[in-house]
């Protein structure tokens, strides 16, 4: 019987809930806004131990270094993507072969959850970064169903979600391709939902659109954009607190699946060091750093050879300027205080802003100058 006594040891992947033969485990939200497994009906528990055996935190996968690192982008899908547009290219390949794609979407009520797609219209909703932990619902069971039906499956998610899927399935499948995103950590879904409601109250209407990482004005200095407006991402309190590690799930501070421990075939990231690795792609339109972890992943990418730009890059250079390869530098001192008070505050937006740590003036000026020079460079190239 799985019992969560230390929340840093639960990544919320739902593998235990999905694997329970008695269906007596449910995911229940705590006061910080994260979901944890709870035995809903103890009398029904079979004491089979299945829930514990599939947990990717209790049973971490072996660490596997990448076979190769690539700078990749797809011109067809570059516009509208958060970085290089490779995910929709992969999805299109799998769907053209009769496959099914799983990924995170923003629902009509602005909550974030995993969905499945058998066509590119469904995949379109999965494009773009979502800086909220997505609700997997019954995705693991659905993946198993489609594999049993003989369909190819492309599953994308955070490292812990991919690790949880592999533990839940229990064995490899030739028809399954898994892709994890280089993850800084997942913010609280409960906090995000409170923030959405506060923005709707402030603007007097429903939020109908969000792009957490809008690169329309430049990939390196992306914006947070909603149907209410747009601003540099660090000027938005939700995004600023995320970047400062204030709102992450407890397990994210010492992740059991980060950096080659998820079992994924491919890992996607932003190639922030593109100027060092592949300077000819450094045009501020977005470039993906892709880490090939298995031969199966290499073969899937190879099927896109005619539709993408790809260049092999030095693995160590490609990891520069990207904090997703390592755990955050400890838990912020005021994190517990922040979550304790977020339910009783009168104004959640003002409350969040009070916890944002402003960068020193020289760093803000440096960022502004870099942005100005970048825009000048783009105008010259035009």
Q: How crowded is residue 59: how many other Cβ atoms within 10 Å of its Cβ?
A: 13
Q: Could you tell me the pTM of the whole model?
A: 0.93
Q: Any idea how long the chain is?
A: 382
Contact between 169 and 18 (Cβ < 8 Å): no
Please report the pLDDT score of residue 276 as a whole number: 94
Per residue, the 3-state secondary structure of the chain, as one string, reads CCCCCCHHHCCCCCHHHHHCCCCCEEEEECCCCCEEEEECCHHHCCCCCHHHHCCCCCCCCCCCCCCEEEEEECCCCCCCCCCCCHHHHHHHHHHHCCCEEEEEEECCCCCEEEEEECCHHHHHCCCCCCCCCCECCCHHHHHHHHHHCCCCEEEEECHHHHHHHHHHHCCCCCCEEEEEECCCCCECHHHHHHHHHHHHHHHCCCCCCEEEEECCCCCCCCEEEECCEEEEHHHCHHHHHHHCCCCECHHHHHCCCCCCCCCCCEEEEECCCHHHHCHHHCCCCCCEEEEECCHHHHHHHHCCHHHCEEEEECHHHHCCCCHHHCCCCCCCCCHHHHHHHCCCCCCHHHHHHHHCCCCCHHHHHHHHHHHHHHHHHHHHHC
pLDDT at site 65 = 86
Beta bridge partners, 178, equal: 155
Which pLDDT tens digits describe the chain residue by residue (382 residues)?
Answer: 889 999 999 999 999 999 999 999 999 999 999 999 999 988 999 999 999 999 999 999 999 889 999 999 999 999 999 999 999 999 999 999 999 999 999 999 999 999 999 999 999 999 999 999 999 999 999 999 999 999 999 999 999 999 999 999 999 999 999 999 999 899 999 999 999 999 999 999 999 999 999 999 999 999 999 999 999 999 999 999 999 999 999 999 999 999 999 999 999 999 999 999 999 999 999 999 999 999 999 999 999 978 899 999 999 999 998 988 999 999 999 999 999 999 999 999 999 999 999 765 545 455 556 555 554 544 454 4
Q: What is the pLDDT, as a whole number, of residue 77? A: 96
pLDDT of residue 373: 56
Q: At what angle do helices 139-148 and 159-169 cross, to 10 degrees?
A: 50
Q: Which domains does the chain have, with CATH numbers?
A: 7-53 (3.30.70), 63-382 (no CATH)
Confidence at residue 371, expressed as pLDDT on a 0 to 100 scale: 53
């Amino acid at each position: 019987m799985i019992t969560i006594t230390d929340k840093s040891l639960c990544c919320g992947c739902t593998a235990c809930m999905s694997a329970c033969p008695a269906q007596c485990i449910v995911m229940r939200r705590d006061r910080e806004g994260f979901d944890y497994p709870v035995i809903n009906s103890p009398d029904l528990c079979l004491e089979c131990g299945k829930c514990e055996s599939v947990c990717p935190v209790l049973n971490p996968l072996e660490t596997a270094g990448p076979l190769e690192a690539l700078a990749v982008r797809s011109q067809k899908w570059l516009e509208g993507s958060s970085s290089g547009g490779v995910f929709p290219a992969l999805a299109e390949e799998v769907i053209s072969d009769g496959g099914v794609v799983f990924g995170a979407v923003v629902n009509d009520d602005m909550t974030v959850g995993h969905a499945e797609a058998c066509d590119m219209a469904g995949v379109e909703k999965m494009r773009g970064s979502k800086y909220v932990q997505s609700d997997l619902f019954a995705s693991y069971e659905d993946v198993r169903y489609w594999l049993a039906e003989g369909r190819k499956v492309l599953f994308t998610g955070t490292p812990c979600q991919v690790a949880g899927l592999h533990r839940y399935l229990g064995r490899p499948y030739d028809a399954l391709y898994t892709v994890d995103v280089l993850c800084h950590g997942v913010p609280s879904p409960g906090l995000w939902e409170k923030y959405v409601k506060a923005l709707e109250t402030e603007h007097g209407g429903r939020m109908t659109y969000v792009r957490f990482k809008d690169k329309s004005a430049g990939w390196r200095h992306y914006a947070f954009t909603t149907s209410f407006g747009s601003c540099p991402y660090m000027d938005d309190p939700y995004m600023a607190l995320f970047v400062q590690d204030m709102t992450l799930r407890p397990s994210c501070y010492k992740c059991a699946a980060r950096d080659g421990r998820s079992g994924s075939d491919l890992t996607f990231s932003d190639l922030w060091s593109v100027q060092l690795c592949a300077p000819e792609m450094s045009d501020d339109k977005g470039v993906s750093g892709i880490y090939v972890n298995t031969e199966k992943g290499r073969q899937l990418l190879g099927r896109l050879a005619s539709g993408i730009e790809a260049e092999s890059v030095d693995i160590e250079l490609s990891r520069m300027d990207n904090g997703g390869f390592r755990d955050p530098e400890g838990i912020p001192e005021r994190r517990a205080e922040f979550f304790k008070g977020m339910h009783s505050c009168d104004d959640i937006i003002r409350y969040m802003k009070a916890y944002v740590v402003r960068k020193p003036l020289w760093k803000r000026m440096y960022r502004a100058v870099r942005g100005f020079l970048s825009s000048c460079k783009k105008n010259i190239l035009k």
